[in-house]
Amino acid sequence: MRFYPLQPQDCRQLKLLMNNPSQHQLLPHSLDDMPSNTIWLIPEKLVPLGFSSTPANSPFQTHFNQPQANAWPEIHLDFKPGKGTTIYCPRPNSNHSINQELKQYLNHRQLLLDELPFPLEEIHQHACHGYLTYEPGLMTKNGRPHCRRCGNHDPNLFASYHCYRCKQECTYCRSCIMMGKITSCSPLVRWLPNKREKRTAASPFTHPSQRHHQSNSELHSNPNHQSNSELIPNRKPDPKCDPSPRHTLAWTGTLSYFQQKASDKLYATINDFLHGKNERNTFLVWAVCGSGKTEMLFHGIESALNAGLHVLIATPRTDVVLELEPRLKAAFPNTKILPLYGGAEDRFGQGDLVISTTHQLLRFHNAFDLVIIDEVDAFPYTADQKLRYAVNKAKRDRSLTVFVTATPDGKMKWQAETGEILSVKVARRYHRHPLPVPRYKWVGQWKKKLAKATLPIPIFHWIQTHLTTQKQIFLFVPSVAVMHDVADILERTLQTTVGFVHSSDPDRREKVMAFRNGKTRVLVTTTILERGVTVKGVQVGVLGSEDRIFTESALVQISGRAGRSPDAPTGDVTFFHYGKTNEMVKAVRHIQEMNRLGDEELALESRKLREHNVKEQNNNPTGVARNLKK
């Protein structure tokens, strides 16, 4: 779309020439504080509507007959006072009637005009009255294009085409094209935050003792002031200020000793954040697979929600969003929970608690106070820079980030161990049993066997042994091609139901559900199911575990599929290989080390319990017999 860029003096002169009130809806409602280094943008499509009666001899008639050749004027990313150009945002007009549905779409988001089901005239009116603004989708940085939605600045990920909108060669970003094409002439539309809602010294992040030192006159003179009663965590919101119900945790389960330790530390970190006492804004929950990480987050999330924070749980994969949604809705029945993923029904709604894939965060801007990233080491988050950019863009300027994973990378491990980031380690599953330790099984040149439409005998024997005991089997393979070949062989040779699934499978959800329900006995899969899937009593095999796709992290996660249920806490994990790799060895050592730490934690818990019993006996001699029985 092409725009007419107007300098401040152009806007003022044009306003004097207007003789129709409807024409004023194209210009800012107020020009009193428009800086000289700003411009005002009018969409070309709207000009004929408002300027049909402009005098023919007006200098602006000529100007408007020749729209800006370039869709956007030159705007610099390194804008500073006195340098470059920026787009003018007038102060909000309190007399203007806001379209609440439009606000819901845009609040804390940056969206393309094509994503907004509203007339351009109405959108521009809200810009004129200071409630939203246009921003360039692509900008120039050091002579190169830069995408403001995904952060892409790789020249190889930009292309150009002849655009029917701006009638010229138009550059577009290939990196985030799956979210809708963003081009040189595509504005991003953003709702402007209410300045009265901005956090200041008298905000939830100010320690209560500091707030008491502010005089009443100082508080009432501050337009951003919030009452102290609104700032205390876990206090019931004032119905006049917050008509929504209180966020209550309905989950009644009991945390294990290990889970409770992590839950308490996270709760304390969030509480310190609320009162501005924490020196670090990053927290790592390093917890083994199957430790019950979601339940550890419940009390911290409840505290944050009741303090008025916007909470996000982000995950790299849709499967995890679909699994978390019903669990969190059951845990927080009075909380509006918004799931976001490709194909979600309500992609532009608002929620107190948002569960989203990291891709969907590309649309958000300065939205969340508490950001919880589940499986931070998972693909594609680790391999795609734009997803990390999206998470950072979705955070508020002052926010707390919680990373949750069983397999942090080397840098994050070092940061946690040196105290650079806050952290807690959970080395034992909630049912207190150790992690199944994988075993190695050499199977020779299995690829040659596969080319002859067969599999190594040890694999057949392993599968038949577990099927005889009525166990289900996860068989991980390194590629989609291998998956199809292995599944075909097993379907021909086994007298049972065999399924297969990969990331691009259109029936992925149905196939995973069939496996969970026991309808499928053997599921051949790629690494897409290394996380987020729990099946009671499943046995796990990895064919071709020497392949480079099976990193330490992937193998630890795959191994974590076994033994997750308290009714079936053990399981067989076997690496079928044609030669051990360092990644395989590191994965086994990782699991053994976590088991060792778990044993130490159990011993410490037992010692504390004995000391508690001895103390109780000393304080209550009559209860000696009872305690001894315990």
345 token code pair = 């029904």
pLDDT range class, residue 194, cuts 50, 70, 90: confident
Q: Is the pLDDT of residue 236 over 90?
A: no
Per-residue pLDDT at 4? 81
Per-residue pLDDT at 70? 45
Percent of the chain beyond pLDDT 90?
62
Which residue type does 33 have?
D
Q: Which residue do the tokens 């779309």 mark?
A: 1
What is the C-alpha separation between 359 and 180, in angstroms, rounded?
Answer: 12
Q: Is the pLDDT of residue 72 over 50?
A: no
Angle CA(378)–CA(381)–CA(383) in degrees, nearest 5? 100
Q: What is the pLDDT of residues 172-193, one digit of tens each?
A: 999 999 999 999 888 999 999 8
Cis previous bond, 458, omega within 30: no
pLDDT range class, residue 63, cuts 50, 70, 90: very low
Domain locations in the chain as residue ranges: 3-195, 257-426, 439-593
What is the C-alpha separation between 71 and 135, in angstroms, rounded?
Answer: 12
Per-residue pLDDT at 621? 62
The correct answer on CATH 1.10.357.10 for the domain covering 439-593 is no
**pTM value?**
0.81
Q: What is the pLDDT of residues 279-305, one digit of tens each?
A: 889 999 999 999 999 999 999 999 999
pLDDT range class, residue 229, cuts 50, 70, 90: very low
Coil, helix or strand at residue 60: helix
pLDDT range class, residue 21, cuts 50, 70, 90: low
Question: Using CA atoms in the order 190, 195, 201, 203, what is the torsion angle rounded to 10 degrees?
Answer: -70
Per-residue pLDDT at 221? 36
What are the residues whose beta carbons fall under 8 Å from the beta carbon of 356, sequence distance 6 or more? 312, 313, 314, 315, 321, 338, 339, 340, 341
Give the burial class of 50: count Cβ atoms within 10 A of its Cβ; 0-12 exposed, 13-18 middle, 19 or more buried: buried
Per-residue pLDDT at 345? 86
Q: Is the pLDDT of residue 334 over 70?
A: yes
Residue 519 has a CB neighbour count (10 Å cut-off) of 11
Contact 145, 138 (CB under 8 A): yes
* CATH of segment(s) 257-426: 3.40.50.300
Per-residue pLDDT at 369? 96
Q: End-to-end CA distance of the chain, in Å?
A: 76
For 226, which DSSP code? -
Q: What is the pLDDT of residues 401-426, one digit of tens each?
A: 999 999 998 899 999 999 999 999 99
Q: Is the pLDDT of residue 225 over 70?
A: no
Sign of the alpha-carbon dihedral angle for 113, 115, 121, 124: negative
Measured in whole angstroms, how far is the alpha carbon of residue 470 from the centre of its chain?
38
Q: What is the mean pLDDT of residues 216-238?
A: 36
Q: What is the mean pLDDT of residues 105-133?
A: 95
Lowest mean pLDDT among 46-60, 114-128, 309-323: 46-60
- The DSSP-derived string for 609-623 is HHHHHHHHHHH-GGG
Per-residue pLDDT at 248? 92
Output 510-519 pairs: Cβ under 8 A, ≥24 positions apart.
Answer: 512/319, 515/472, 518/472
189-210: b or e for each residue (b if 16 or more CB lie within 10 Å)?
bbbbeeeeeeeeebbbbbeeee
495 token code pair = 């007298």
Q: Is the pLDDT of residue 2 over 60?
A: yes
Measured in whole angstroms, how far is the alpha carbon of residue 371 from the centre of its chain?
7
For the chain, the helix, strand and coil percentages under 3-state DSSP, each to the nearest 5: 40, 20, 45
Q: Which residue do the tokens 């508490």 mark?
A: 370
Lowest mean pLDDT among 144-148, 233-237, 520-524, 614-618: 233-237
Q: What is the mean pLDDT of residues 582-596?
A: 97
- The DSSP-derived string for 103-138 is HHHHTTBEEEGGG--S-HHHHHHHHHTTSEEEEESE
Lowest mean pLDDT among 13-22, 64-73, 134-143, 445-454: 64-73
Q: What is the mean pLDDT of residues 238-247?
A: 51
Q: What is the mean pLDDT of residues 26-49?
A: 84
What is the C-alpha separation between 429 and 292, in angstroms, rounded?
Answer: 7
What are the residues whose beta carbons fall under 8 Å from the beta carbon of 104, sequence distance 6 or more? 348, 349, 350
What is the C-alpha separation between 539 and 488, in angstroms, rounded?
Answer: 20
- The DSSP-derived string for 412-455 is HHHHHHTTSSEEEEE-S-TT-PPPPPPEEEE---HHHHHHTT--
Q: Is the pLDDT of residue 113 over 90?
A: yes
Contact 569, 534 (CB under 8 A): no
Q: Is the pLDDT of residue 220 over 70?
A: no
Contact 499, 487 (CB under 8 A): yes
Q: What is the pLDDT of residues 461-499, one digit of tens each?
A: 999 999 999 999 999 999 999 999 999 999 999 999 999
Bridge partners of 170? 161
Q: What is the pLDDT of residues 514-561, one digit of tens each?
A: 999 999 999 999 998 888 788 999 999 999 999 999 999 999 999 999
| Side-chain half-sphere CA neighbours of 434 within 13 A | 17
Nearest C-alpha neighbor of 316 from the set 342, 349, 351, 285: 342
Pinpoint the alpha helices (H) of 537-581: 552-559
Which residue type does 148 have?
R
Lowest mean pLDDT among 376-385, 389-398, 582-591: 376-385
Cα distances (Å, whole numbers) of residue 79 to 35, 84, 259, 365, 395: 14, 5, 47, 19, 22
Q: Is the pLDDT of residue 207 over 70?
A: no
Per-residue pLDDT at 375? 84
Indicate the angle between helix axes 582-619 and 257-274, nearest 10 degrees: 90
296 token code pair = 């550890």
Q: Indicate left, alpha or beta for 93 from its phi (over 0: left) and psi (-120 to 50: alpha).
A: beta
Per-residue pLDDT at 405? 93
Q: Is the pLDDT of residue 73 over 50?
A: no
pLDDT range class, residue 343, cuts 50, 70, 90: confident
| Side-chain half-sphere CA neighbours of 336 within 13 A | 10
Q: Is the pLDDT of residue 623 over 80?
A: no
Percent of the chain beyond pLDDT 70?
83
Q: What is the mean pLDDT of residues 549-574?
A: 95
For 315, which DSSP code? E
Of residues 516 and 48, more confidence is placed in: 516
Q: Is the pLDDT of residue 599 over 60?
A: yes
Q: Which residue do the tokens 């697979």 mark?
A: 289
Contact 236, 407 (CB under 8 A): no
Residue 452 has a CB neighbour count (10 Å cut-off) of 8
Lowest mean pLDDT among 7-11, 200-204, 523-527: 200-204
Nearest C-alpha neighbor of 553 from the set 284, 320, 289, 282: 289
Arithmetic mean of pLDDT over the chain: 84
Q: What is the mean pLDDT of residues 158-165?
A: 90
Give the burial class of 251: count Cβ atoms within 10 A of its Cβ; 0-12 exposed, 13-18 middle, 19 or more buried: middle
Q: Is the pLDDT of residue 199 over 60?
A: no
Which residue type does 517 have?
N
What is the C-alpha separation between 457 and 450, in angstroms, rounded?
Answer: 12
Of residues 263 and 2, more confidence is placed in: 263
Per-residue pLDDT at 198? 45
pLDDT range class, residue 19, cuts 50, 70, 90: low
pLDDT range class, residue 604, cuts 50, 70, 90: confident
What is the C-alpha separation between 204 and 528, in angstroms, rounded?
Answer: 40
What is the C-alpha separation between 572 and 570, in angstroms, rounded?
Answer: 7
